[in-house]
Amino acid sequence: MWLLGSSPQSAVWAAEIGLPYAFADFINPAGVDIAAHYRQNYVPSREHPEPRVVAAIWALCAETDEEANRLAASSRMAFTLFLQGRLIPVPPVETALTFVAEHAEDVEALGRRRRWLVGSPATVKPGIEALAAEYGADEVMIVTITYDHAARKRSYELLAEAFHARA
């Protein structure tokens, strides 16, 4: 069992009861100090004598940076509207590209509130490694939100290849 959280309080709870902690950086990109607090205050449990941290991050990988950014428009639109209290299904890329162009200021504001690792494997891999190092993460968990399932699957395949893992 793990505790997934995105706030200081979730780190307190995970540390108090001796659970591994997965921090949702994809929700709150300000979690490095929260993860450090978890480690510093960790109370060992029988099942977990040492603290363990997973950084759960948002990443989208494609063959090129341009294609990845094109595909990411769907998430950017959905998250922008979500933060405005408007829930929508993840939109098709073409719809999202129009939205992103017409609402550039709102999407830019989203970029200041969310961490996006978007690009080719050569772009995304160093970003993931840097984020894992910031957190001192034992593992990294990736969430990829796209309209097209095949693009999401390909993103995971490219990341697995970049890290020499099996997809």
Q: How does pLDDT run across 132-155, given as a tens digit for each residue? A: 999 999 999 999 999 999 999 999
Containing 61, the helix (H) or strand (E) segment is: strand 53-61
* pLDDT beyond 90 at 10: yes
Q: Which has the closest alpha carbon to 145: 32, 21, 56?
A: 56
Entry pTM: 0.89
Residue 74 lies in a domain: no
Residue 126 lies in a domain: yes
Residue 72 lies in a domain: no
Residue 12 identity (one-letter amino acid): V
| CA–CA dist 119, 68 (Å, integer) | 5
Residue 26 lies in a domain: yes
Contacts of 92 (CB under 8 A, 6+ apart): 74, 147
pLDDT tens, position by position, 66-104 = 999 999 999 999 988 888 899 999 999 999 999 999 998
Residue 167 lies in a domain: no
Q: How confident is the model at residue 166 (pLDDT cuts 50, 70, 90)?
A: low
Residue 140 lies in a domain: yes
Containing 34, the helix (H) or strand (E) segment is: helix 32-40
Which residue segment(s) compose the domain that 15 sits in?
3-59+119-144
Place of tokens 């095949």: 150
Residue 84 lies in a domain: no
What the block records as the tokens of 76 is 């950017």
What is the count of structural domains for the chain?
1
What the block records as the tokens of 120 is 């080719």
pLDDT tens, position by position, 97-128 = 999 999 988 877 766 666 789 999 999 999 99
